[in-house]
Amino acid sequence: MHIPDGFLSPGVWGTLDVIAIPAIGTLARRAQREFDEHKVPLLGVMGAFVFAAQMINFPVGIGTTGHLVGGALLAYALGPAAAAIVMTAILATQALIFQDGGILALGANVLNMAIAGVLAGYLPFQVWGRGPHRKAAIFLGGFLSLMVSAVLALSELTVSGVRMPPAVLGVSLSLFVVSAVLEGAITLAVVQALEAINPGFIRQPRAERSLAIWVLAGVSIFLSACGIALAASNPDGIERLIENAGIASHTQKLMVTPLSNYKLASAHYPWLGQALAGLAGLLVVYALCAFIGRAIRRSRRIASVAEGSA
C-alpha cells in the first residue's frame, strides 16, 4: 500500500506534500479540541499495535500479499482526527527508519492512508455505529478505508504517467478488493475481541484502567518480535502492480539506514535482526505517539486555563 519513491512525478508528490502538511496541522488542532484526554494512554498503544500489525503480510492472491492498514481501527478507538495523527507518525517512522514507502512520496501516503483512509473508515461507524448495524458498520469502515487508499494510490500513479495495462489494473483492483474484505474482517474481529475483554472498550474514556491496553501491548510485542518471521514474503498489492507493469527498476532509495527492510543489518542471525528491528520500530512508534498524546493533553489544559482566565 505504501508508494515508494521513483514512481510519482515531481509535480504529483510535490503537490501532495504541500497539501498534506496543512491538512495534518488542521487535524492536529481538531484533535486538540476534541480528544478525550483520558484516552491519551491509548495513542501509544494503538499506534504500536497498528505498526506491528502492518508488518505481517498475509496472502491475498497468487504471489501477492496484503496487510492490515488499521486506519478504521484507529479511528474507532481514538476518533478520526487523533487517528490521522497517529497514522502519520507510523508512516513517517516506516519511511524514515525502515524505507517502507518513499520519503518524497510521504505526503501521498499520508493523504491516502492517514487522512482519506481514516476518514472513509470512520464514516460508516459514525452513521451506523450506535445502532443494530454496528458490526456491519465496523466491517464496512475497514473495507472502505483500504479501498479509498488503494484507489487514490492508483490514481496518483496514473496521473504521474505510470503505464498500467488494463489487464494489470484489473487484477490489481481485484486483489485490493480481497485485501479490503480482509481489512474489514480483521478490524471487526479486533474490535470484538477488545470489547469481549473490556465491554464498551471503543467508547469508554478510562482507557488507562483497561485490561485491553495490556493485551494490545502484549500482542504488539509478540508481532514485532516474532510475527515477521511468520509473515508471507511475497510483495504487496502496490509492489506487485509495479512488478507486473515492468517498472520495478524505477524504485529509488534516497537513504539507507541500519534497519532498512525491517532487518538489523549488523545482527549475526537473520531472525534476530528481524526481531530487533521490529522491537526498535515498536518503541519508536510508541514513544512518538505517546509524546503526541501528552502534547495534546498539555495543549488542552493550557487552552482551558486561558479560557478560564478570560
Backbone angles phi, psi at 170, to 5 degrees: -65, -45
pTM (predicted TM-score): 0.93
C-beta of residue 117 within 8 angstroms of C-beta of residue 280: no
Dihedral over alpha carbons 8, 85, 235, 179 (to 10 degrees): -110
Nearest 5 degrees, angle CA 23-CA 213-CA 185? 70
d(CA 3, CA 139): 25
d(CA 35, CA 29): 10
How far the first Cα of the chain sits from its last, in Å, is 48
105: cell is 512520496
Cα 46 to its chain centre, rounded Å, is 10
Give every residue of the chain whose pLDDT is below 50, as ranges. none
Confidence (pLDDT) at 183: 97
Residue carrying C-alpha cell 484489473: 170
Beta bridge partners of 241: none
| CB-neighbour burial class of residue 161 (10 A; exposed 0-12, middle 13-18, buried 19+) | exposed
pLDDT digits (tens, 9 = 90+) for 29-60: 998 888 777 788 889 999 999 999 998 888 88
Helices (H), the chain: 10-34, 40-54, 71-78, 80-98, 106-109, 117-128, 134-159, 166-197, 211-222, 228-230, 237-244, 270-309
Largest separation between any pair of C-alpha atoms in the chain? 64
21: which residues sit within 8 A by CB, 6+ positions away?
107
Confidence (pLDDT) at 307: 66
Across the chain, mean pLDDT equals 89
d(CA 63, CA 105): 25
For residue 303, CA distances in Å to 78, 79, 84, 120, 292 come to 21, 20, 22, 30, 16
CA nearest to 144, candidates 110, 183, 111, 114 = 183
Cα 225 to its chain centre, rounded Å, is 19
pLDDT digits (tens, 9 = 90+) for 115-146: 999 999 999 999 998 889 999 999 999 999 99
H-helix or E-strand spanning residue 64: strand 64-66
d(CA 310, CA 307): 5
Backbone angles phi, psi at 157, to 5 degrees: -65, -40
136: which residues sit within 8 A by CB, 6+ positions away?
124, 128
Amino acid identity of 281?
G
